[in-house]
Amino acid sequence: MTLIQRLVPVTGLAVFGLLLPASILQAQDLTETETALYEAAQSENGVTWYTSQLTTEQAEQVCALFSERYEGVGCFPVRANGSSTLQRVVQEIQAGAVQGDVVSTNGVSDFEEFKALGGLAQYMPENLSGMEPSLAALNDSDGYYFVSGTSPFGFVYNTEIVAPEDVPSSWNDLTDPRWRDQIAIAHPGFSGSAGQWAIAMDRLYGEAFFQGLAANDPQIGRSIADGYTLVTTGERSLTVTSLALGRDAMRDGKPVDLVVPEEGMFLPPSAAAVLADAPNPNSARLFAEFLASTEFSQWLASMGRNPLRTDVATPEGVPDLTEVNVLTVSVAESLENQQRVVEMFRDIFGI
């Protein structure tokens, strides 16, 4: 069992600004690509960003940083859960009435569906040249979408409820009867990242894992954030969620701690893409460049998350992706198994 260290409290965009080097808070030299896009974006209406990758507050912070760097280019986040974002984008593509410019979700397989519908522009940011190689390997080989974040999964538990000797150490501990009526999880049919996690658990332990988990009567939400909230309030004692959310709670003084299961933390990459019929194509591409930039990775690190780039250090207390065991699901594995695993989940849990 590996417990993650506590981090210094960080809340709000104002405090965030105090933690970053002055260079990020000042206008930096733009690349030739950024300059051309920035000039062209002046005559557009900003970028509308469909996202399930971040919380509403976090998405607003990212947009504020983007508009600070590219003064005069607005940024308008539209946050929803993974299934709602997927449905919205598919409907807009099929109707020929695309309203968004950029989409980012935690379900990489979503982008294969968008691509099959002809809904994505073939655009890979120039700034991807600085991406961590293990993450760059997950970028679309056809050039339609790229990794825009990663939020490793583990356990978050309430320290006022769970005794030290009872802290789980394995993913399979979720099937232990001691956790009956104490677990919170996200539904893999609604949350893209939970869907990927379910595929990984199916690969490790098969259907028996879900049967054992169901016997413990977990509370099931639509988002991984739902379980996080239940644990921080003491309504449930253990959840499978983003370790970054757990660190957020620890910074805020909540009675929680984190565990990286011995099999490895689950690594669900988030992805982003420019929509083919984006109403503001230059603003969209400029925003894509920003998501691959040093500034965005610095923001991720300041929020206790893994940066995407090699020129930004992993923050203290955050597991370095090169130093711990990780579980991943490839796009091919996701496409092959997602529907089957979701249907199995619905059959077992009756929801």
Which parts of the chain fold into alpha helices (H)? 12-19, 22-25, 32-41, 56-69, 82-95, 108-116, 133-136, 192-205, 207-215, 224-232, 243-251, 281-291, 294-302, 331-349
What is the phi/psi pair of residue 205, to 5°? Answer: -130, -10
Equal fold, 12-150+268-302 vs 153-266+326-349: yes
The pair of structure tokens assigned to 86 is: 């997927």
Per-residue 3-state assignment (H helix, E strand, C coil) for 153-187: EEEEEECCCCCHHHCCCCHHHHHCHHHCCCEEEEC
Alpha-carbon gap, residue 161 to 260, rounded angstroms: 19
Q: Does domain 153-266+326-349 have CATH number 3.40.190.10?
A: yes
pLDDT value of position 28: 58
Q: What is d(CA 97, CA 188) in angstroms, rounded to the nearest whole number? A: 28
Query: According to the model, what pLDDT value does residue 316 have?
Result: 86
* DSSP code for 270: E
Residues of the chain with pLDDT under 70: 1-28
**What distance in Å separates the CA atoms of residue 306 and residue 299, rounded to the nearest whole number?**
10
pLDDT the model gives residue 26:
38
For residue 107, what is the enclosing H or E element? none
| Rounded Cα distance, 197 and 269, in Å | 11
Whole-angstrom distance, CA of residue 82 vs CA of residue 55: 12
What are the domain boundaries of the chain?
Answer: 12-150+268-302, 153-266+326-349
Helix (H) or strand (E) holding 310: none
Please classify residue 294 by burial: count the beta carbons closer than 10 Å to its beta carbon, then call 0-12 exposed, 13-18 middle and 19+ buried: middle
Both structure tokens of 325: 């065991």
Homologous superfamily (CATH) for 12-150+268-302: Periplasmic binding protein-like II (3.40.190.10)
Can you say how many angstroms the Cα of residue 131 is from the centroid of all Cα atoms in its chain?
Answer: 17
Measured CA to CA, the distance from residue 279 to residue 276 in angstroms comes to 9
